[in-house]
Amino acid sequence: MRMKPNTSHAALSAGMAIPKVGPQTSDAATMARHAQAQARSWLQLNVPMANWQGRRVWLVGASTGIGLACAQALRAAGAQVVVSARNPQGVQEWAAQDAGVQWRALDVSDPDQVQATARALQADGPLDLVVYAAGYYRAQRATALNLEELLQHDKVNYQGALRVIDAVLPEMLSRQSGHISLLSSVAGWRGLPNGLAYGPTKAALTHLAETLYMDLQDQGIGVSVVNPGFVETPLTAQNQFTMPALISPEQAAREMLKGWAQGQFDIHFPKRFTLWLKLLRLLPYRLYFPLVRKFTGL
């Protein structure tokens, strides 16, 4: 009896291509991704970004605080930066004096505006890094629950990030390149007093970044999440307590650029504060809850 030849072997012998399952990319794109993977050590979860000359960066929610300081640090390093937010504050004057800085007004709660802005920016060239730094914060406890404030946090901190990602990701996928960085917070690591509205949205951002990374690491797209401790910004100025290990926005920006240069996924700082919080994440609830009460007095 005559045996049928192995289909795969026969197809290969005849020079026939076997259909592939999943996203199709060119050989050049595949080779580029392999070269990028080989260029980083096993400790680097992303391709390091240290040379910013000629790179285009879009920072959303960067008219003040960490976002603005990061935009300024990236520009000083040679990047072409686009800054977006609802209000220009000090950015418009800066952009008018520097051709490498562009201001684009943007309300992240407006889906059409987000899509239109992203299309306009991508028409001028690819975006190498997109940083979502838009944030809204009001302290809230369950004993004074305010649904409108809860939903506003979600609209800006989380839904806005989804809209921006939806607007920029298809183009990044098409060229198998780019990096998305989400500005989260250590406030999202575990539940904290006064964090009823803010903390859950930051926890969602961190979870989102983790899932994006797993989905996109093989597509040539980097993903990182930034988890600052207390940074001196208009948001933290509302706090009525002493903030441990408080740092300046400029210090935060330096830590972010260092994290991207090292290919980190989880960029957290200052370490003297965040490493202790990481340990707290490991505690069982029966120890965590009374410990937080003791140290916060709440």
**Residue 33 and residue 176 in contact, taking contact as beta carbons nearer than 8 Å:** yes
Residue 284 identity? P
**Residue 131 and residue 205 in contact, taking contact as beta carbons nearer than 8 Å:** no
Nearest-angstrom CA–CA distance, 38 and 35: 5
* CA 278 to mean position of chain CA atoms: 19
Helix, strand, coil share (%) of the chain residues, nearest 5: 50, 15, 40
Give the residue numbers annotated as catalytic, written as ranges.
198
* Residues across the chain: 298
